[in-house]
Amino acid sequence: MANIIDDLIKKDQERKLERKENKVITFEEYLGLLKESPKIAQFSAQRIFSMILGRGEKELSPVDREFFGVKKGYPFFEQHLKGVTSSVSEVMEFFLAGANGLALGKKVLLLFGPPASGKSSFLEILKSGLESYRDIPMYKIQGCPINEEPLHLLPQNMREDFERELGIKIKGDLCAKCRAKLEEYKEKGGPTGYYDIPVETFSISRRKMRGIGRFEPADEKAQDISDITAKENPAVTYNPKRGYDDPEAFTFNGAIPRGNRGLVEGVEFVKKGIDPKILWVFITLNEEGLLAVPGSNMAPLDIDTVVLGHCNIVGFKWFASDSAHEALQSRIYAIPFGYALRIKDEVEIYKKLINQANVKTHISPETLELVALFAISSRLNPDNNFSSVIEKAKFLNGQIVESIAEKRLDIKSVIERGKASDDWSKKDGMFGISPRDIMSALSKAIVSDKGCKCLTPKKAISFLLANFDNLMGVNPELIKAWKNLLNNEITKEYKERVIEIINTAFLSCYGDLALQKAKRYMKDVQLHCQKSRKFSAPRVTEENASGPDYTEMRKIETHMGLNSTEAQNSARGELLQMYYEYLQEHGEFSLKDFPKLREAVNKVLLEEMQLNMINILTLSEKPATGKEAENSRKHKEDLVEGLKKAGFCEHCVQEILEDARKFLKK
């Protein structure tokens, strides 16, 4: 009901806006407008390109440049599409070629990839953009059934002069109906009567079938070429006084005439069984800008549109491998649209889709990240440099993978290896579980328990496993592999993250203790350097006169990766130099600016306080009294408060505490 009301409101708003903006002028006045603003007469490819660039270009970060292999991103798409920056960049190169009339832009653009990889969404963004684009007005000959460019009214012998004067290219001839109107005005006003022909502004609209056409092939027997061209009007053609030569003998309601001045979308464009004759209509249209109407006596229509097809990999592979389509293949420009291959991009996709829903739910920290890790891992080929696809997924996400630290791999080479197969369906990102299937499982999880408005990692994993029973067309062996991935690696990852989260929250309760330990370590380092005469520093205080505590020092240094005496001695001098420079600049020592030292100190603290942590987590199991119990209760309250500050709610706090207790006791 709400959607119907929204549609009615939108239609009313469009109607009022159009009525307000509609402007009728003469063709002569239109020529005057073009002298001031030649862009008004842009071709469709130029208009689309200008619309996208109107939102600007964005320099990508060094990390994104390395991952996607391109330098720029486009805000027009980035708000809605994640993980396909390189594909979007290729499309923009195609649009640029089309805007400049180059050969590449005369091909049919075909986006191909696995289901739910963003192909249809890309088209939806373009169509919505064209509908709302008002930066440059559009004009058409009033009453024209295909909304054609008013410049078609100019006689051929005058076009060169006008092109030179206006600085624009003029191409295309009038449709039969507009030609009849031209003759009518010439009869009234003489040879120059066409200057008085009314032209009017118009806007692209899917609902009114202006500027956007959509074609979806049926099976070969049911296909009718009139679906993309025009249909005969029997009331005119069977009328003895009118017939097939009448300008209204055909109704231009096919996908291509509707898409004039905008774009035509081809759904499952190279579907198996499609009649090649239909594809040739699109090819001829793009190469020559002409659309012949079968069965009519009229000249071909001059059409200005961009044809964008999309299809799944199965259809693409069938079409690309059939030698019978060789001539067609050379006239199609195919761009792959794969799944996201970075965890952070996949998470953004989930957030966008969840935010679009009406159900409000709390999402526990790490839930979407863990689900995304599973999804990305399902889309990757194994790589000998990694022990698992989980490690590869983390590496592509920019995370530190300790097991490959010494291999010095770069992301570009890992991506290239993952896409090395000649079979498109076996390249990274061209297979695996789709965001659509992931969201089906998460949606069920969100609405499953009305009393609990929290989505936790455990719940997400449970519903992902159950959702496999509802998937159609997926190989049983593949589903088995996905289940194993969830039950083993992802579950193991969950356990590690629970302990990591608890550790972080636990340490936040002992922030002063960590700082004290770090300061004590730095004093020990100072004593060591003075003792070994490797560093000149202020005189040591009485407090530390007994000398450095090497046992404590080595505990910390081991966690910094300093295992040999030589490495420890070298690092101590460097660290002390940094320490004094820091004090000189900031006045007071802070662990946050010494990440390696902070991490090492935290690990030592956790080792020393492991038993205390378990006691705090198991406090509810065994009633306790006394000062020690009171301290434990206080620390548990602090721990819970720290978890809540990290984004946990009452429900997921209890779940993570319970899981942490079980994992740590093991």
CATH number corresponding to 37-138+203-336: 3.40.50.300
User: Tokens standing for 35?
Assistant: 């002298």
Q: What is the pLDDT of residue 21?
A: 67
pLDDT average, residue stretch 496-521: 83
pLDDT, tens only, 428-484: 999 999 999 999 999 999 988 766 679 999 999 999 999 998 888 889 999 999 999
**Neighbouring C-beta atoms of residue 88, cutoff 10 Å:** 23
pLDDT, tens only, 609-641: 766 677 677 755 455 555 656 666 777 788 888
Residue 532 CA to residue 231 CA, distance in Å, equals 96
- Please report how many Cα atoms fall inside a 13 Å half-sphere around the Cα of residue 371, on the Cβ side: 34
Name which of 222-236, 543-557, 620-634 the model is least confident about.
Answer: 620-634
Q: What is the DSSP letter of 426?
A: G
Q: What is the pLDDT of residue 356?
A: 87
Residue 220 pLDDT grade (very low, low, confident, very high; cuts 50, 70, 90): low
pLDDT, tens only, 115-132: 999 999 999 999 999 999
Q: Which amino acid is at 235?
A: A
Q: What is the pLDDT of residue 228?
A: 93
Contact between residue 194 and residue 186 where contact means Cβ atoms under 8 Å apart: yes
Residue 89 reports pLDDT greater than 60: yes
Q: How many helices (H) and strands (E) does the chain have?
A: 29, 16
Q: What is the DSSP letter of 210?
A: B
Q: In what helix (H) or strand (E) does residue 62 lie, and over which residues does it extend?
A: helix 62-68
Contact between residue 305 and residue 262 where contact means Cβ atoms under 8 Å apart: yes
Q: What angle do CA 473, 477, 478 make, to 5 degrees?
A: 65
Residue 652 CA to residue 656 CA, distance in Å, equals 6
Residue 544 pLDDT grade (very low, low, confident, very high; cuts 50, 70, 90): very low
Q: What is the DSSP letter of 370?
A: H
Which of 142-156, 176-190, 501-515, 555-569 tops mean pLDDT? Answer: 142-156
The length of the chain in residues reads 666
Q: For tokens 């995304």, what's the residue?
A: 372
What sign does the CA torsion over 17, 18, 24, 27 have? Answer: positive
Q: What is the pLDDT of residue 56?
A: 95
Q: Which of 343, 340, 337 is closest to 393 using CA atoms? A: 343
Residue 398 reports pLDDT greater than 70: yes
Percent of the chain with pLDDT over 90: 59
Q: What is the pLDDT of residue 465?
A: 96
Contact between residue 499 and residue 628 where contact means Cβ atoms under 8 Å apart: no
Q: What is the pLDDT of residue 263?
A: 96
Q: Mean pLDDT of all residues in the chain? A: 88
Contact between residue 664 and residue 617 where contact means Cβ atoms under 8 Å apart: yes
Q: Measuring CA to CA, how many Å separate 330 from each of 104, 280, 327, 333, 334?
A: 11, 12, 6, 8, 10
Q: Which of 594, 524, 519 is closest to 560 using CA atoms? A: 594
Q: What is the pLDDT of residue 541?
A: 46
Residue 138 CA to residue 34 CA, distance in Å, equals 11
pLDDT, tens only, 299-341: 999 999 999 999 999 999 999 998 888 889 999 999 999 999 9
Residue 27 pLDDT grade (very low, low, confident, very high; cuts 50, 70, 90): very high
Residue 130 CA to residue 174 CA, distance in Å, equals 24
Which of 51-65, 266-280, 574-588, 624-638 tops mean pLDDT? Answer: 51-65
Return phi, psi of residue 108, to 5°: -85, 130
pLDDT average, residue stretch 144-162: 95
Q: Measuring CA to CA, how many Å separate 51 from each of 44, 75, 125, 260, 458?
A: 10, 11, 11, 17, 44
Name which of 92-101, 239-248, 612-621 the model is least confident about.
Answer: 612-621
Where do the domains of the chain lie? 37-138+203-336, 343-503, 508-665
- Please report how many Cα atoms fall inside a 13 Å half-sphere around the Cα of residue 502, on the Cβ side: 29
